[in-house]
């Protein structure tokens, strides 16, 4: 295959997508307006924790660029006039009023619009406010008077597992018309053998993606609230989840310190954005779930405070280790990470916080360069995210931390032992 594919947006989703497309035989041009992102790719210093067949994403990108199969740029410029594919994976920006700025999508479309030729395909991947593509893209393409195809297939990949999920995850696909659908379908089939499910409209596909995220947000809120109940009852929430899930029609998720990342915390705003600022649709369950997840870090800090108090210690000036700063287990993304909220709340209470995560760059002043340094003489340890390089050895914990050893484990990763006061949450 010699067809060029332009990929706009080279972040946690866009870059693995661009590399995957390149691996499937396409010539890829990656574009990101952030000079730092482009420099990191060119220099082989990509701060993303992804591996393809054991090869780190930085080396993979370097290898493909050396082979002239992929280039990266800070600005778009069309190469040749043969039909090409334009994959749009740029993010939507937050606004202070609680809504979202869709101008990044609009800017990409307006940039490529004058260069489009007969047979081009625009494939949008970004999670959208329902109705965005119809209002921003479709009419502009129709006004061109050229046979240009438009389709939408929302991304579903999880950071850290991007390449595996690009291979195996089912895809939702919708398009402007039947011809656009068939062109986009052929492209997607060339990337993976996984199932493709047709949505009746682009607006439907946009809404499907938003609801998928809301579903997870709501169900995490449910199990987090159950976790609080189990704590009051003195029962192990993880044993509860395992036993509850033996029922074939029940699937509890796992509790945690909150909900991080960009997608899930913003999903409800995306759904509300479909109605505009003037129309107030009551969404009581979803709004309650969002509030529950937002308050979760505060609940974790309250657990810390109580555990210390029961041990005869005051949280003020207590030494507390927070292990795992990522927004979820086994990743290097700290956007909206509940661990950062936990740190802020602990500091507000006067605690001396030491944080550690082997994959996260130094983003807070209290970060330490090693796990042992973080837990040394700590009055309490909070496990907020799991990372492969952090092993919770009971002997080490007991020899390094202050007595009594208090651990608040939000990720069910520290083993039970009579020598420590372990609180699972």
DSSP 359-425: TS-S-STTB-SSHHHHHTT-SEEEE-S--TT----HHHHHHHSPSSEEEEESSS-SPP-TTEEEEE-
The Cα–Cα gap between 370 and 389 comes to 11
Distances (CA, A) of 325 to 285, 303, 329, 345: 29, 18, 9, 14
For domain 4-199, give its CATH number from 3.30.565.10, 3.40.50.300, 3.40.50.720, 3.30.300.30: 3.40.50.720
347: left (phi over 0), alpha (psi -120 to 50) or beta: alpha
pLDDT in the model for residue 279: 74
- Compute how many other C-beta atoms are within 10 angstroms of the C-beta atom of residue 169: 16
pLDDT in the model for residue 204: 99
pLDDT in the model for residue 356: 98
The answer to whether the CB of 49 falls within 8 A of the CB of 58 is no
What is the Cα gyration radius of the chain?
24
Domain residue ranges in the chain:
4-199, 217-424
What DSSP string runs through 138-198? IHHHHHHTS--EEEE----PPTTSHHHHHHHS-EEEEESSHHHHHHHHHHHHHH--S-EEE
Model pTM score: 0.93
Query: Class assignment of domain 217-424?
Result: alpha beta
pLDDT in the model for residue 96: 59
| Strand-strand pairing, 171-175 and 352-356 | unpaired
What does pLDDT average to in each consecutive run of 10 residues of the chain (425 residues)? Answer: 89 97 98 98 94 97 97 97 97 71 93 97 97 95 95 95 97 98 98 98 98 98 97 94 98 96 92 81 94 98 97 96 97 94 98 97 96 98 96 97 98 96 94
Structure tokens of 391? 């092993």
* 89 DSSP assignment: -
């Amino acid at each position: 295959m010699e067809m060029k594919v332009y990929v706009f947006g080279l972040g946690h989703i866009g870059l693995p997508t661009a590399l995957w497309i390149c691996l499937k035989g396409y010539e890829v041009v990656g574009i990101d307006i952030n000079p730092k992102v482009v420099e990191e790719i060119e220099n082989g210093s990509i701060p993303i924790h992804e591996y393809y067949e054991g090869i780190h994403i930085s080396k993979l990108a370097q290898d493909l660029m050396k082979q002239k199969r992929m280039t990266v740029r800070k600005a778009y410029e069309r190469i040749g006039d043969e039909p090409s594919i334009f994959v749009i994976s740029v993010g939507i920006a937050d606004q202070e009023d609680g809504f979202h700025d869709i101008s990044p999508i609009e800017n990409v479309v307006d940039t490529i619009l004058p260069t489009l030729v007969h047979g081009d395909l625009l494939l949008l991947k970004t999670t959208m406010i329902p109705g965005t593509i119809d209002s921003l893209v479709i009419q502009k393409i129709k006004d061109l008077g050229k046979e240009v195809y438009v389709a939408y297939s929302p991304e579903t990949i999880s950071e850290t597992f991007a390449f595996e999920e690009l291979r195996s995850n089912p895809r939702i696909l919708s398009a402007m018309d039947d011809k656009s659908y068939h062109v986009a379908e052929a492209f997607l089939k060339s990337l993976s053998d996984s199932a493709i499910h047709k949505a009746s409209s682009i607006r439907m596909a946009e809404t499907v993606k938003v609801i998928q995220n809301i579903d997870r947000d709501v169900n995490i809120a449910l199990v987090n609230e159950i976790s609080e109940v189990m704590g009051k009852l003195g029962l192990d929430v993880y044993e509860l989840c395992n036993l509850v899930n033996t029922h074939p029609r029940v699937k509890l998720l796992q509790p945690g310190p909150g909900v991080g990342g960009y997608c899930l915390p913003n999903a409800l705003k995306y759904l509300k954005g479909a109605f505009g600022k003037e129309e107030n649709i009551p969404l009581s369950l979803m709004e309650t779930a969002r509030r529950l997840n937002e308050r979760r870090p505060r609940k974790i800090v309250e657990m810390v405070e109580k555990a210390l108090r029961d041990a005869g210690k005051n949280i003020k000036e207590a030494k507390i280790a927070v292990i795992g700063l990522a927004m979820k287990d086994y990743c290097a993304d700290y956007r909206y990470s509940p661990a950062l909220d936990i740190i802020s709340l602990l500091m507000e209470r006067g605690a001396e916080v030491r944080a550690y995560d082997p994959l996260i760059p130094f983003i807070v002043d209290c970060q330490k360069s090693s796990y042992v340094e973080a837990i040394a003489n700590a009055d309490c340890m909070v496990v907020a995210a799991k990372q492969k390089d952090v092993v919770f050895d009971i002997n080490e914990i007991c020899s390094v931390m202050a007595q009594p050893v208090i651990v608040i484990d939000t990720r069910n990763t520290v083993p039970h032992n009579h020598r420590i006061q372990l609180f699972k949450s």
